[in-house]
Amino acid sequence: MADSTDTPAGARVWSRPAQLVLGLAAVVLLTGTGLFLGAVFLHVAPANTVSRQYREQIDGVVYPEFEQNWKLFAPNPLQQNVSLDARVRTVAGGGATETHDWLGLTARDIAAIRGNPAPSHVDQNLLRRAWDFYDGSHNPQDETLTNSRGKLAEEYLKRIALQRIGRSVDGERILEIQFRVTSATVPPPSWSGEAPPPEPKTRELPWWPVDDADFRGLG
C-alpha cells in the first residue's frame, strides 16, 4: 500500500499493469515514428546500399500519400506550370449518355490559394503530386504502364477528382471520367535574353470507368 507521505494529495497513482501498457504504447509510437522518418529520409537521400536493398519497403511507406518532390542536398524546382482538367460522362434516366464540359481542377486550387495568406498543402500540392505520380509511371505516347505503381497512380488520380466532383452531375450518375493536362514551360525573365518557351502541350488521357468502389472511403 502506497505511503500517503510519498504521494501528493489528489495525484493519480498508476498501477503497475497500467504503467506497463503506457510504456509499451510509448515504445510502439516512438518506434513507428522512427521507422517512418527513416523511410522518408532514405527516399530523399542519395542512393545508397540501404535504400537500394530496401527500395520496395521504402516505396510502400512513401507512395502515394507521402511522396516527396525533392532530393536531399539537391532541390528540384518546378520548371513547368501544369493545369489539370477533368470531364465526365453520365447516364440519364432513359439510358442515354451525356459528356459534360471540362472542369478546371487546377484552376479551382489556384482560386483557393490566391489571396490566402496561409493556403493549405492540399490546394498547393495534392493534385500536382498526383499527376507527377501518374506521369512517372505511364508512357505519354500511349498511356501504357511503365512500372508496377501505374495502376495505383490511376486510382489515386481518379479518386482525387471524384472526391471533388461527387457521385453525380446534375442528378445523373457518373459512368466515366477523363483527364486533360496542359503543360506550359515557365518563361525565362525578360532580361535573360533566352528564347521564349515553346507553346503549351496538351495531353488527353483515355476514358476511365467509374464504379462504387472508386468512392469507397471518400467523404
> What pLDDT, in 10s, does the model give residues 128-146?
999 999 999 999 999 999 9
Write down the pLDDT at residue 79. Answer: 81
Residue numbers in the chain where pLDDT is lower than 70: 1-11, 69-77, 219
Whether 182 is in a domain gets the answer yes
Whether 150 is in a domain gets the answer yes
Write down the pLDDT at residue 13. Answer: 80
Residue 86 and residue 169 in one domain = yes
Whether 71 is in a domain gets the answer no
Whether 5 is in a domain gets the answer no
Residue 152 and residue 199 in one domain = yes
Whether 195 is in a domain gets the answer yes
Whether 1 is in a domain gets the answer no
Looking at 31, 62, 93, the residue that finishes a domain is 62
The H-assigned helical ranges of 3-79 are 16-44, 49-53, 55-62
Whether 75 is in a domain gets the answer no
Strands 80-91, 103-104: pairing kind: antiparallel
Q: What is the domain extent for residue 46?
A: 16-62
Residue 124 and residue 86 in one domain = yes
Whether 189 is in a domain gets the answer yes
Residue 208 and residue 101 in one domain = yes
Count: domains in the chain: 2
Write down the pLDDT at residue 142. Answer: 93
pTM: predicted TM-score of the whole model, two decimal places: 0.67
For residues 161 and 177, the answer to whether their CB atoms sit within 8 Å is yes
Looking at 62, 92, 119, the residue that finishes a domain is 62
Q: Hey, is 198 helix, strand or coil?
A: coil
166-196 b/e with 16+ CB inside 10 Å = b? Answer: eeebeebebebbbbbbebeeeeeeeeeeeee
Residue 41 and residue 128 in one domain = no
Residue 58 and residue 87 in one domain = no
Write down the pLDDT at residue 165. Answer: 94
Write down the pLDDT at residue 14. Answer: 83
Peptide bond between residue 64 and the one before it cis (omega within 30 degrees of 0): yes
Looking at 30, 62, 94, the residue that finishes a domain is 62
Of 67, 39, 72, 53, which is closest to residue 135 (Cα–Cα)? 67
